[in-house]
Amino acid sequence: MTAPLLQVTDLKTHFHTARGVMKAVDGVSFSLAAGEVLGLVGESGSGKSITGFSIIGLIDHPGRIESGSSIKLEGRELVGLRANELRAIRGKAISMVFQDPMMTLNPVLSIFTQIKLALEAHGKVSSAEARQRAIAALKQVRIPDAETKVDFYPHQFSGGMRQRVAIAIALLHKPKLIIADEPTTALDVSIQAEILAEMKELVAETGTALIWISHDLATVASIADHVAVMKTGRIVEAGQTLDVLLKPQHPYTRALLDSLPSRAEPGTMLARGSSDGAADPVPPPRRAGADQNRMPKHGVPYFVVDGVSKHFSKSTGLLHGLAEKAGLTSPVPVVQAVDNISLTLARGDALGLVGESGSGKSTLGRIAAGIYPPTSGIVRLEGERVISSGRSPKKITTRIQTIFQDPFASLDPRMRVGDSISEGPLAHGLVGRAQAGEYVRQWLAAVGLDPAFAGRYPHQFSGGQRQRVAIARALAMQPDVVVCDEPVASLDVSIQAQIINLLIRLRKELELTLIFISHDLSVVRHLCDRVAIMYRGRIVEAGQTAEIYENPRDDYTRRLLAAVPVLPQAMPADAAVL
Amino acid sequence: MVSFIFQRFFQAGLVVIAMSALVFCGVYAVGNPIDVMISPDATQEIRAQVIARYGLDLPLWEQYLQFANRLIHGDFGMSFVYGMPVGTLILSRLPATLELTLFAVILASAVGIPLGVYAGYRPQSLASRVIMTASILGFSVPTFWFGLMLIMLFAVQCGCMPAGGRGHTATLFGIEWSFLTGDGLKHLLLPGINLALFKLSMMIRLARAGTREVMVSDTVKFARAAGISEGTILRRHVLKLISIPLVTVFGLEFGSTLAFAVVTETIFSWPGLGKLIIDSITSLDRPVMVAYLMLVALLFIVINLVVDLVYVLLDPRLRKGRA
């Protein structure tokens, strides 16, 4: 057997900071043959990205590859090379694709200029030749009309197109190895599916080896021959993709797989991955005297969204208005975000709103929660308006609350979380000032946090803990309906499992009605008994979750479901062996 | 794009009208120029004659309308003190200030931006620390003191530099310029450095902050991963990404320096606009003050318009639709 293309032995990348040494990568070894695809899987902080950066020689101060580490590309040692020699390898023999195509391309340079710079990095090219090669490179990644698109700027492309451009730049010099760091995480599922398929073809076409770094086991399973599972700087398990996913040996791999909602029976509690091992949170305190007027009203549907539409239009200046009247300019186009949608929910329902970015699902969620006034239509809770009528509509109920995607953005960074939680209830007289402290502690306990955390600031929490604080803050308003806008989208799978479990439990105990907005079809399937699929501001299909997932009737739903990468399931024969 | 420029000109027109009214009324409220203009022992008739000649007996709004009418015809009136048309007077002084200001602002950018980019690129290095400390000094040392020190060191002690004046000038487009002769350049250097000091520090700080931010971005990481050399990354990627705040400050500083280079011009007895306006304020030379303030307002409007257009040039994202 010939020498492997890439041989990583005992790679240690440590960060020497004033507070001590952080061992981001701590003794990683693996090898990769030419044309092979390796999936590097792990949760945030596992060191998977740092491993990628170490290989391509982009570790910045205070990080350092420790002595004793070895990275050999075709037998040539890369550790200890001078900056210049490393630069000559980067982009030529090894190249890299990053997570967010919005951030990687330079917004102020045209695609052609950026490709030209990458070409000039490894040899002289004439402008005409660069142009030709740029067009060819764009064609290779299936960008239509490459001759004109080459002069575009990044903002003129969609997210998927930008990622294709980034891949085209990575492929320019026909590298032997491409490192892809979460290249599809920021994209919609259908675009992710396209990029995955194209990446597979390109790898096969060019014979390039690929290291695919991801937190998502399902995407890795669909592209990689081998996987390596990383945890706290080490590879805990490695092997053939199917072997690792179907017969995981290491408890961490097993825990990671078990915390995926796609592998569990819908509605059940998920196994809680690699969490701290603390018991699930204790039940929440009883509502204090909030129940007296909550007797169900007969004959009135519980929560109704009735014929709601929302347009967004740019405000135009006086001059533009005049010019428009005179026929000099065309009117500014109106964005129809939500187009005549009606929904009815019974008490205790959980409705999933699913769609890709730009489908209007978040706008609809905000209208339902009373944050945006609809352009037309009405939202009622037990027959009462959620938003007042009149010229400047306001939300007039506290019975609907929202949990946002990014708890870091939705919590005030300069306010203790205890004060953030008690602010609303105090303002609405749900709790007296004297009892506020105790009230906050009860809610923190209810979402499984240490009640003593009330005095901390948001930055002192991990992502999952912060999202729990955000949930506690929403629930402390004692709502009947909770709108969750992608509450688990930015979280690791094991933390995602914790939050999903919490929502399942709280829904049962508090008889909450949930509107759960997500792009993740497996999470929705797990948590919601009804689902509505949105596309371009309309609901294309709605019904019982199980029914729609089994027999999608609409074309778009079918495409959406087909695009979701699925984990290979164990064959019955395998099960018998086990 | 065209509608954007059109809109800006419309706005500029409104600003000029508002400014002219404000300036005229503001200056009207300051003192009585007659007391300065004629000797105290002049007879009552002479006094009345002078008042009538300058239209000072009319009500304020009529005076303003007359003024506005003359303004439209390009007539800024006669200076009370110099006895010559204000337009000619200001034009005779403007090139000196323009030259000094441009020299200072370009010097500040040409030196400050590279230093700042370097300080942002290697924030830990000794040179960067020296640059940053020096820039704090540049902020905090008063201009007049620094100017006096320059004169003392280079003109008095070592005698290699002139202490003031414009030196020999050469004529280009019918205007006298100092930078065209060796002697003139020598005269330009010290006041130019003095005027540039504050702007230099500002450019360094801005360029450094921008560079530090951009250097850790994915854009730069991706460029490095493509094997592009550090020099090319700094020149082609970083410089363009940090240019918008730099252009903003360049424009603002250019305007304010042009208008208020008074301290430096006084210290180096540079015959520019700053000296003219100070003189006209002390002698209550109303037409000069009004014309000068109008000129300053106009300058800021033009500079801001140019800055906005440069934004569009620099950032393709602003090219579509309304800015």
pLDDT at A331: 61
Determine contact: B236 vs chain A, CB below 8 A.
yes
Q: Which residues of A touch B (CB under 8 A)?
A: 56, 58, 60-61, 87-92, 95-96, 98-100, 103-110, 113, 117-118, 120-122, 153, 155, 166, 169-170, 172-173, 317, 319-320, 323, 328-329
**Rounded average pLDDT over B232-254:** 87
Strands A177-181 and A94-97: parallel
Protein fold of B86-319: MetI-like fold (1.10.3720)
Measured between beta carbons, the chain A residues lying within 8 angstroms of B317 are 107-108, 153, 155
pLDDT bracket for residue A320 (50, 70, 90): low
- The answer to whether B151 touches B267, Cβ cutoff 8 Å, is yes
Q: Which residue has the tokens 């019918």?
A: B174
Instruction: Give, for A181, the enclosing helix (H) or strand (E).
Output: strand A177-181
Segment A241-285, tens digit of pLDDT: 989 988 899 998 888 888 888 777 777 777 654 444 444 555 455
Least confidently predicted of A447-456, A492-501, B32-41, B130-139:
B32-41
- Please say if the pLDDT value at position B209 is more than 80: yes
The neighbour count for residue B105, using CB atoms within 10 Å, is 24
- Please say if the pLDDT value at position B322 is more than 50: no
**Rounded average pLDDT over B256-285:** 81
Contact A87 B227 (CB under 8 A): yes
Question: What is the count of residue pairs from A and B with beta carbons less than 8 Å apart?
Answer: 101
**Rounded average pLDDT over A56-80:** 88
Segment A102-135, tens digit of pLDDT: 788 988 899 999 999 999 988 888 999 999 999 9
Which of A108, A115, A313, A325 to substitute to test the interface with B, most B CBs within 10 Å? A108
Least confidently predicted of A322-326, A477-481, B194-198, B224-228:
A322-326
Chain B CA closest to residue A100: B218
Which of A76 and A277 is assigned the larger pLDDT? Answer: A76
pLDDT bracket for residue A508 (50, 70, 90): confident
- Please say if the pLDDT value at position A227 is more than 90: yes
Angle CA B49–B50–B51, to nearest 5 = 90
Determine contact: B310 vs chain A, CB below 8 A.
no
Which of A334 and B234 is assigned the larger pLDDT? Answer: B234
| Sequence ranges of the domains in chain B | 86-319
- Please say if the pLDDT value at position A3 is more than 80: no
Distance from CA of A520 to the nearest CA of B (A): 26
Measured between beta carbons, the chain A residues lying within 8 angstroms of B11 are none
Contact B224 A323 (CB under 8 A): no
* Percent residues over pLDDT 90 in chain A: 22
Contact B221 A61 (CB under 8 A): no
Give the SS3 label for residue A545: helix
pLDDT at A326: 62
Contact A108 B241 (CB under 8 A): yes
Measured between beta carbons, the chain A residues lying within 8 angstroms of B225 are 56, 58, 90-91, 95-96, 98, 170
Contact A91 B227 (CB under 8 A): yes
Angle CA B296–B298–B302, to nearest 5 = 120
Distance from CA of B197 to the nearest CA of A (A): 31
Residue B218 has its nearest CB partner, among A104, A108, A319, at: A104
Considering chain A, what is the average pLDDT of its residues? 84
Distance from CA of A108 to the nearest CA of B (A): 5
**Rounded average pLDDT over B19-24:** 82
From the options 3.40.50.300, 3.40.190.10, 3.40.50.970, 3.90.79.10, give the CATH code of A347-377+387-562: 3.40.50.300
pLDDT at B92: 82
**Rounded average pLDDT over B266-280:** 82
- C-alpha to C-alpha distance for A261 and A525, rounded to whole angstroms: 8
Of A494, A75, A483, nearest in space to A276 by CA: A494
From the options 3.90.1640.10, 3.40.50.300, 3.30.540.10, 3.40.50.2300, give the CATH code of A1-93+177-258: 3.40.50.300
**Rounded average pLDDT over B291-310:** 84
- CB contacts under 8 A, B 238-267 vs A, are 240-241
Segment A91-103, tens digit of pLDDT: 899 999 988 877 8
**Rounded average pLDDT over A40-50:** 86
Burial A85-121 (b: 16+ CB within 10 A, else e): ebbbbbbbbbbbbbbbbebbbbebbbbbbbbbbbbbb
Measured between beta carbons, the chain B residues lying within 8 angstroms of A169 are 222, 226
pLDDT at A276: 45
pLDDT bracket for residue A329 (50, 70, 90): low
**Rounded average pLDDT over B195-224:** 88
Contact B7 A153 (CB under 8 A): no
- C-alpha to C-alpha distance for A399 and B10, rounded to whole angstroms: 50
- Residues spanned by CATH 3.40.50.300 within chain A? 1-93+177-258, 347-377+387-562
For chain B, report the end-to-end CA distance as a whole number of angstroms: 8
| Range from A4-8, A393-397, A429-433 that averages highest in pLDDT | A4-8
Measured between beta carbons, the chain A residues lying within 8 angstroms of B226 are 90-91, 95, 117-118, 121, 169-170, 172
Determine contact: B124 vs chain A, CB below 8 A.
yes
pLDDT bracket for residue B174 (50, 70, 90): low
Segment B48-57, tens digit of pLDDT: 877 777 777 7
pLDDT bracket for residue B282 (50, 70, 90): confident
Strands A400-403 and A481-485: parallel
Contact A88 B227 (CB under 8 A): yes
Show the beta-strand stretches assigned E in chain B.
170-172, 175-177
- Please say if the pLDDT value at position A8 is more than 50: yes
Which of B224, B235, B311 to substitute to test the interface with A, most A CBs within 10 Å? B224
- Please say if the pLDDT value at position A570 is more than 80: no
Residue B138 C-beta-side C-alpha neighbours within 13 Å? 21
Strands A384-385 and A376-381: antiparallel
Q: Which residue has the tokens 């980034």?
A: A166
Contact A58 B322 (CB under 8 A): no
The neighbour count for residue A230, using CB atoms within 10 Å, is 25
Determine contact: B231 vs chain A, CB below 8 A.
no
Contact A89 B223 (CB under 8 A): no
Determine contact: B163 vs chain A, CB below 8 A.
no
Segment A519-562, tens digit of pLDDT: 888 889 889 999 999 998 899 999 999 899 889 999 999 988 88
The neighbour count for residue A213, using CB atoms within 10 Å, is 25
pLDDT at A576: 38
Query: Which neighbouring-strand residues pair with A123?
Result: none
Instruction: Give, for A540, the enclosing helix (H) or strand (E).
Output: strand A538-544
Instruction: Give, for A39, the enclosing helix (H) or strand (E).
Output: strand A37-41
Query: Residues with Cβ < 8 Å from B55, sequence gap 6 or more?
Result: B63, B66
Which of A576 and B247 is assigned the larger pLDDT? Answer: B247
**Rounded average pLDDT over B134-139:** 86
Predicted-complex ipTM score: 0.76
Residue A121 has its nearest CB partner, among B3, B229, B240, at: B229
Which of B219, B243, B244 to substitute to test the interface with A, most A CBs within 10 Å? B219
- Please say if the pLDDT value at position A315 is more than 70: no
Contact A96 B225 (CB under 8 A): yes
pLDDT bracket for residue A578 (50, 70, 90): very low
